[in-house]
């Protein structure tokens, strides 16, 4: 009330005290009335409240009621001044309580944060415990694997093999005065094996053609051959300049220039004397190769200079033309004449092998002059063999019947088109030794090439004179047919031999028919389906490009055939050195704080020290077991590789009985689910590891992050980083410690081809090629590695692509990266390949393809897919559902360029032109884990939990 009175207005007037006091009394009376009213209302409220209290309102506490009544009594008895102070006190209490409540709320929140933090720490400790437990399990597995490796090392009784150590002879050939019958020469009785040890490396000595020329007035060496043979042999790794260590000695023989005086006894004696006077002839010419590569005149006289009475002793004769009684099987060697350039890319000379069928089913251009009896009278003193003194050609012989039948084929009612020409050269002069018994080439080389480009089959007729087993003309026709993509049809194929017949399976690229089957020839040619036609064309192209197309190829093949006869392995393939990006004194900084993205808690395999793949275990057996494939399928008999993706596989029981070294069967052979699966590699091959190759260019932090994610990856041997940038890494860059060596190689130039160089630092067969911004989980990598072990000769990886036929331009291909149920490529930005393919990409693949990769700075992954599919005729293998890889925050890559896809369209079409066909094959297959989406018992684990 005091408060209310203090708040009432009070007015004071100066015009009279009575009026003022009257006004005051009136206001006081109003106040008293208001107070009484309040008291009445309060009494009523109290009475009502007590009434409710007496009725026992639910939830009402009696102590609370007494407290409130006491408060009310205090309130009603208080004066206005006391009430004000009490209210102020209550406000202070309220403020104090609010502050206390705020402090308590802060404490509660801090306690909640502490509880949350401790809970997180508990979870982290549990996670760390799980990590430690997983690492412990891995270490236990690693210990078991190490114990097995130690036991194998103790029990092993065979040495670790390496590239063959060269053991060379160091003396010149002894002089032998007596010469055995050279007509019966074979490798076992006429060749001196003591000069060619298995580990000799097969050294070859060339008589300098500028110093030792077997020529006279009638014989001479073509200037082109003289220079080119010397040059190409200089590139051959077997060449030696020391005759004391040589296994074989090569003598370049000249060509016949004049036919009239060739077979005189004087000419023969001059040639024989020059041969026998060679400084290392040794009296009988053993281990000598007489190389006659005629190219100016493809007549028999030029191609067979040793058909007379020249005593060649034990020397091996290498030429295109041989008489049947002159040729010593598996001793002499039939080769094609030199018709191509010295070396280099020759794909421009080849025609595409598609379509399978061309305008002409069969073509032939040639002529043979028929005489009833053609007699050549030897001159006085001539010792010409009796086999060629008289060549009899009967007008009614089989060749005339063949001519008649072929002419009838061209005018028949068949829908097939033939181009057969039998008249194209002038008449033969009398009494001159010619190739009248053989079918001569007709027209110019360019005109014949145009016809062969339009021919599905090319007819090659064996000589009418069956005393010849090979002629230069036949070998030249074979050369031209294969070059143009026409399948050779050898009529009379049962009486002749083709080039390098002891190593090449010609039946895969040519058709051989006896002359008596000429009437069945048309039926046979029509019965061959398109897939077989293209297979034969492809095989013919491979043989021509590798063994016949260039002088370099011909010379290398001749040496390889002789070496193959002796069972001597080729020299090891050349590896690329691995120069470090750091100098010898600089020590790169290491980072101990590895911040990696969390990997799924899954045991993926043991952590082992680096273990290189065993190399050169098949130095002396690969040419035996895979001789046919090496010469005919892989067309690479010139190098010895440390491993091949085609190495033979042991039977399953052998790894338990007698051949268990290196094998790690799952559950020790009993099998098992995820737990046992993760402890051992299993599979059909011994234990091995893989190498990761990363190509990088000025993206240091992206690279470091990618390297850090590899920490703890099982079966990783090492990481090879190809530093493509000319700018060296900064000195303070910290490289992560990931448990395996990291080798940083300085590239000689910025090229995407560097991704596939056969670096000597790669010591495993398996190579995982990865972009520096590709992010693969550990389980994905491990699954890809295990799948690759079963598909070693294929590209095995993650992002799939395919080549699509251009619907607008029906003569080209498009590169397509859309999602598809069919693919034909796996990008090598994340793929496993065999190291063998890095050798082939660098040294075997046509240079034009690598040049195109450098031109576009693109397409190296397409080129690798082309190479592998070309050699294996298999598509790649895609694993998991990965289709692409994104790197958030990474700098823009080359693939983001607008021209990227246009260049890849061009690459596919250019590469198919170089190969002569499209080697890529489609597949609708994807590899997933065996227990993928499989319901298994609760006490079992999947092979991979998340794959």
**410 to each of 343, 404, 419, 471, 567, how far by Cα in Å?**
39, 10, 7, 27, 49
Q: pLDDT digits over 800-815, tens only?
A: 999 999 888 778 999 9
pLDDT of amino acid 433? 37
**Active-site residue (options: 123, 861, 897, 928):** 861
851 counts as catalytic = no
The larger pLDDT score, comparing residue 501 to residue 138, is at 501
Q: pLDDT digits over 543-585, tens only?
A: 999 999 999 999 999 999 999 999 999 999 999 999 999 988 8
**Region of poorest pLDDT, from 15-29, 220-234, 637-651:** 15-29
With beta carbons less than 8 A apart as the criterion, state whether 807 and 893 touch.
Answer: no
Say what percent of the chain tops pLDDT 90.
Answer: 53
Query: CATH number of the domain at 603-612+685-927, please?
Result: 3.90.550.10
**183 to each of 309, 319, 499, 827, 864, how far by Cα in Å?**
12, 17, 21, 58, 50
Q: pLDDT digits over 189-243, tens only?
A: 999 999 999 999 999 999 998 888 776 555 667 778 888 999 999 999 999 999 9
Phi, psi angle pair for 426, to nearest 5°: -65, 170
Q: Is the dihedral of CA 692, 697, 698, 702 positive or negative?
A: negative
Closest CA to 715 of 682, 743, 681, 684: 681
pLDDT of amino acid 767? 98
Q: Quick one: average pLDDT of 131-146?
A: 76
Q: Quick one: average pLDDT of 65-77?
A: 54
Helix and strand element counts for the chain (H, E): 23, 30
**CATH T-level topology, domain 347-377+390-549:** Rossmann fold (3.40.50)
Angle (deg, nearest 10), helices 472-484 and 445-453: 50
Q: Quick one: average pLDDT of 22-39?
A: 64
Q: How many CB atoms lie within 10 A of CB 770?
A: 26
Closest CA to 375 of 393, 394, 397, 391: 391
Phi, psi angle pair for 325, to nearest 5°: -85, -5
| Residue 432 confidence (pLDDT) above 50 | no
- Residue 307's pLDDT band (cuts 50, 70, 90): low
**794 to each of 647, 688, 864, how far by Cα in Å?**
13, 17, 10
Q: CA 749, CA 539: separation in Å to the nearest integer?
A: 36
Q: Quick one: average pLDDT of 815-820?
A: 90
Closest CA to 255 of 352, 173, 320, 316: 320
Q: Quick one: average pLDDT of 381-407?
A: 59
Q: CA 628, CA 505: separation in Å to the nearest integer?
A: 8
Q: pLDDT digits over 366-384, tens only?
A: 876 544 333 333 334 444 4
**782 to each of 131, 323, 738, 776, how far by Cα in Å?**
19, 62, 16, 10
pLDDT of amino acid 1? 38
pLDDT of amino acid 561? 97
Q: CA 947, CA 943: separation in Å to the nearest integer?
A: 8
- Residue 259's pLDDT band (cuts 50, 70, 90): very low
pLDDT of amino acid 533? 97
Q: pLDDT digits over 265-279, tens only?
A: 656 777 888 889 999
| Residue 29 confidence (pLDDT) above 90 | no
Phi, psi angle pair for 186, to nearest 5°: -130, 170
Burial class (CB in 10 A: 0-12, 13-18, 19+), 129: exposed
Residue ranges of domains in the chain: 2-54+65-77, 182-334, 347-377+390-549, 603-612+685-927
Q: CA 860, CA 853: separation in Å to the nearest integer?
A: 6
With beta carbons less than 8 A apart as the criterion, state whether 909 and 638 touch.
Answer: no
Angle (deg, nearest 10), helices 860-872 and 900-915: 30
Average pLDDT, rounded, for the chain: 83
pLDDT of amino acid 741? 95
pLDDT of amino acid 939? 82
Residues in the chain: 947
- The pair of structure tokens assigned to 6 is 């203090």
Q: pLDDT digits over 110-137, tens only?
A: 999 999 999 989 988 887 787 777 777 7
DSSP element (H, E) containing 288: strand 288-291
| Residue 156 confidence (pLDDT) above 70 | no
- Residue 18's pLDDT band (cuts 50, 70, 90): very low
- Residue 147's pLDDT band (cuts 50, 70, 90): confident
Closest CA to 569 of 624, 613, 525: 624
Q: pLDDT digits over 170-184, tens only?
A: 888 888 876 666 788
Say what percent of the chain tops pLDDT 70.
Answer: 80
pLDDT of amino acid 137? 75
Closest CA to 358 of 534, 539, 511: 534
Q: pLDDT digits over 655-669, tens only?
A: 999 888 889 999 999
With beta carbons less than 8 A apart as the criterion, state whether 487 and 361 touch.
Answer: no
Angle (deg, nearest 10), helices 860-872 and 836-843: 110
């Amino acid at each position: 009330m005091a408060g209310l009175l203090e708040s009432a207005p009070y007015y004071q007037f100066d015009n009279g005290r009575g009026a003022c006091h009257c006004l005051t009394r009136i206001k006081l009376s109003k106040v008293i009335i208001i107070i009484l009213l309040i008291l009445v209302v309060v009494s009523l409220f109290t009475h009502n409240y007590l009434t409710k209290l007496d009725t026992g309102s639910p939830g009402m506490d009696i102590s609370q009621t007494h407290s409130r009544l006491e408060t009310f009594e205090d309130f009603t008895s208080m004066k206005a001044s006391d009430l004000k102070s009490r209210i102020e006190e209550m406000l202070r209490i309220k403020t104090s309580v609010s502050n206390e409540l705020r402090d308590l709320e802060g404490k509660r929140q801090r306690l909640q944060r502490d509880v949350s933090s401790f809970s997180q720490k508990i979870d982290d400790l549990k996670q760390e415990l799980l990590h430690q437990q997983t690492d412990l399990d891995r270490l236990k597995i690693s210990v078991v694997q190490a114990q097995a490796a130690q036991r194998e090392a103790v029990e092993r009784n065979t040495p670790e093999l390496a590239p063959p150590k060269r053991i060379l002879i160091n003396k010149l050939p002894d002089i032998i005065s007596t010469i055995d019958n050279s007509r019966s020469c074979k490798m076992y009785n006429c060749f001196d094996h003591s000069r060619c040890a298995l580990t000799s490396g097969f050294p070859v000595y060339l008589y300098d053609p500028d110093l030792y020329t077997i020529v006279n007035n009638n014989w001479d060496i073509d200037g082109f051959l003289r220079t080119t043979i010397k040059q190409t042999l200089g590139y051959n790794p077997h060449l030696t300049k020391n005759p004391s260590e040589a296994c074989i000695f090569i003598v370049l023989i000249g060509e016949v220039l004049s036919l009239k005086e060739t077979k005189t006894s004087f000419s023969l004696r001059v040639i024989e004397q020059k041969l026998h006077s060679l400084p290392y002839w040794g009296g009988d010419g053993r281990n000598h190769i007489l190389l006659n590569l005629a190219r100016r005149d493809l007549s028999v006289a030029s191609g067979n200079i040793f058909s007379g009475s020249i005593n060649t002793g034990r020397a091996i004769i290498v030429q295109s033309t041989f008489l049947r009684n002159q040729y010593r099987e598996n001793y002499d060697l039939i080769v094609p004449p030199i018709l191509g350039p010295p070396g280099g890319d020759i794909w421009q000379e080849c025609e595409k092998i598609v379509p399978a069928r061309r305008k002409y089913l069969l073509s032939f251009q040639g002529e043979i002059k028929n005489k009833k009896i053609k007699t050549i009278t030897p001159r006085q003193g001539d010792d010409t063999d009796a086999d060629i003194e008289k060549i009899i050609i009967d007008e009614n012989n089989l060749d005339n019947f063949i001519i008649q039948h072929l002419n009838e084929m061209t005018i028949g009612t068949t829908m097939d088109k033939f181009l057969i020409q039998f008249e194209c050269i002038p008449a033969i002069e009398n009494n001159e030794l010619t190739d009248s018994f053989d079918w001569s080439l007709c027209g110019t080389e360019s005109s014949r090439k145009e016809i062969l480009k339009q021919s599905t089959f090319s007819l090659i007729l064996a000589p009418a004179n069956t005393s010849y087993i090979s002629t230069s003309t036949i070998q030249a026709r074979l050369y031209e047919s294969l070059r143009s993509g026409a399948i050779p049809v050898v009529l009379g194929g049962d009486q002749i031999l083709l080039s390098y017949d002891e190593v090449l399976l010609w039946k895969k690229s040519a058709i051989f028919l006896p002359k008596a089957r000429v009437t069945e020839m048309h039926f046979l040619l029509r019965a061959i389906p398109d897939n077989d036609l293209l297979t034969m064309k492809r095989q013919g192209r491979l043989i021509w490009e590798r063994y016949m197309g260039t002088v370099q190829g011909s010379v290398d093949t001749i040496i390889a055939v002789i070496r193959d006869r002796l069972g001597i392995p080729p020299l090891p393939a050349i590896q690329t050195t691995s120069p470090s990006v750091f100098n010898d004194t600089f020590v790169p900084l290491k980072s101990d704080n590895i911040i990696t993205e969390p990997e799924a808690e899954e045991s993926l395999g043991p952590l082992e020290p680096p273990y290189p793949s065993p190399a050169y275990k098949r130095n002396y057996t690969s040419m035996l077991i895979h001789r046919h494939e090496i010469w005919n399928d892989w067309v690479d008999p010139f190098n010895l590789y440390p491993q091949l993706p085609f190495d033979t596989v042991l039977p399953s029981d052998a790894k338990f009985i007698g051949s268990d070294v290196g094998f790690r069967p799952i559950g020790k052979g009993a099998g098992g689910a995820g737990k046992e699966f993760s402890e051992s590699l299993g599979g059909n091959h011994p234990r091995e590891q893989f190498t990761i190759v990363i190509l990088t260019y000025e993206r240091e932090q992206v690279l470091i992050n990618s390297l850090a994610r590899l920490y703890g990856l099982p079966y990783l041997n090492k990481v090879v980083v190809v530093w493509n940038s000319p700018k060296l890494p900064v000195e303070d860059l910290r490289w992560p410690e990931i448990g395996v060596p990291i080798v940083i190689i300085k590239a000689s130039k910025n090229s995407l081809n560097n991704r596939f160089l056969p670096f000597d630092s790669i010591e495993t067969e398996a190579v995982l090629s990865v972009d520096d911004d590709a992010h693969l989980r550990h389980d994905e990598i491990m699954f890809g590695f295990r799948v690759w072990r079963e598909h070693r000769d294929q590209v095995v990886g993650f992002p799939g692509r395919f080549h699509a036929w251009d619907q607008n331009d029906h003569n080209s291909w498009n590169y397509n990266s859309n999602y598809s149920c069919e693919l034909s490529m796996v990008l090598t930005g994340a793929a496993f390949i065999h190291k063998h393919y890095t050798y082939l990409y660098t040294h075997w693949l046509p240079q034009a393809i690598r040049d195109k990769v450098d031109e576009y700075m693109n397409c190296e992954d397409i080129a690798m897919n082309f190479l592998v599919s070309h050699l294996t005729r298999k598509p790649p293998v895609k694993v998991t559902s990965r289709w692409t890889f994104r790197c958030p925050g990474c700098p823009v890559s080359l693939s983001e360029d607008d021209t990227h896809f246009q260049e890849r369209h061009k690459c596919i079409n250019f590469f198919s032109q170089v190969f002569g066909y499209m080697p890529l094959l489609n597949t609708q297959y994807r590899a997933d884990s065996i227990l993928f989406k499989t319901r298994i018992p609760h006490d079992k684990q999947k092979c991979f939990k998340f794959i």
